[in-house]
Amino acid sequence: MAAPALAIPNCPACASSTTKDLMVHNGHQLKTCSRCKFVFTAQRSFTTIPYEDTPLGMAAYQSMIKAAERTYRRELGFRDLWWFQRKALKWLHARLRTGRVLDISSGPGTMLMVARQVYGYDVQGVEPVATAVESAIRFGVPTFCGTAQDYAKKQPEKFDAITSFEVLQHVVDPAAFLQTAKQLLKQNAILILSTPNLDDPYCLQQKNAPAMPPPQINFFSRRSLKVLLERAGFAVTRTYTLPIPTSSVRNLYGKKGLLIRIPYLFAQRFAGKADGTTLLIMAAPM
């Protein structure tokens, strides 16, 4: 039985008042904006931080902490980061040889450790989960426990670059989140984000619980993310995704199902009907 639609005043991406019901997933109404095609949950807030206080979530954090500890001991490094983190660091280094880098929702600090070890950046983390913050500090990564908005209120310092990976899909007010990021950036600075990609035709079909609501409440395409960034005062300078949606297809059909479908997925790609699971985007303050 479909859950009743909840009235919300405007699209969280472009602020349009013209939205319509799209589908119900796991009891949560998904809506779409008629103007920018942003897809989002009607319910905008939940009682806990995504993944925290759940067995699956804490298991994921423990895995992240173990990887961070191995990175701290230099048993793991650049090649062991997620592909979008590696790509982001390459983009960043092409534009910024030295400087201060802030990572929002930095976890136990793995990416920042690599950024400091490989490229010599001065790093700072912001992370709302206390367990991850304690680990990051133990590994020598300065990390503020709280949200980006909390940090901006207490820290007037500006940064040369901000990164934030797989965060925007969980944020109740994405425009306010980006406006906070802009407040923390210097002029001519860089913002790099990754988020699940609604242009992936399998994006809303996944059976992997963390990829759907809750905890994920926002689903961005290139178009809607560009609209949101421009509304927050950023100009998009670069975008990238993998050739085929490997993660979403694996989540839907399993590893064996992915392997069977690879030729079909590449054929879809050449026909212009496939897109990667994760969207990486770089922007600059206007």
Judge whether residue 84 has pLDDT over 90.
yes
Judge whether residue 50 has pLDDT over 80.
no
Q: Is 218 helix (H, G, I), strand (E, B) or coil?
A: strand
pLDDT of residue 55: 43
pLDDT per position as a tens digit, 163-195: 999 999 999 999 999 999 999 999 899 999 999
Model confidence band, residue 272 (pLDDT cutoffs 50, 70, 90) = confident
pTM: 0.91
Mean pLDDT of 189-209: 92
In degrees, rounded to 5, the angle at the alpha carbon of residue 87 between the alpha carbons of residues 59 and 78 is: 60
Domains in the chain, ordered, with CATH? 48-285 (3.40.50.150)
Mean pLDDT comparison of 59-68, 246-255, 266-275, 276-285, highest-scoring range: 276-285
Contact 37, 223 (CB under 8 A): yes
CA 139 vs CA 65, 131, 144, 154, 165: distances in Å = 10, 13, 14, 23, 20
pLDDT per position as a tens digit, 95-119: 999 999 999 999 999 999 999 999 9
- β-sheet with 19-25: strand ranges across: 19-25, 28-33, 39-41, 218-219
Judge whether residue 230 has pLDDT over 70.
yes
On average, the pLDDT of the chain sits at 90
Judge whether residue 198 has pLDDT over 90.
yes
* Residues in CB range of 264: below 8 A, 6 or more apart: none
CA 118 vs CA 111, 122, 129, 161, 240: distances in Å = 10, 11, 26, 16, 22
pLDDT of residue 5: 42
Model confidence band, residue 37 (pLDDT cutoffs 50, 70, 90) = very high
Q: What is the C-alpha separation between 11 and 119, in angstroms, rounded? A: 39
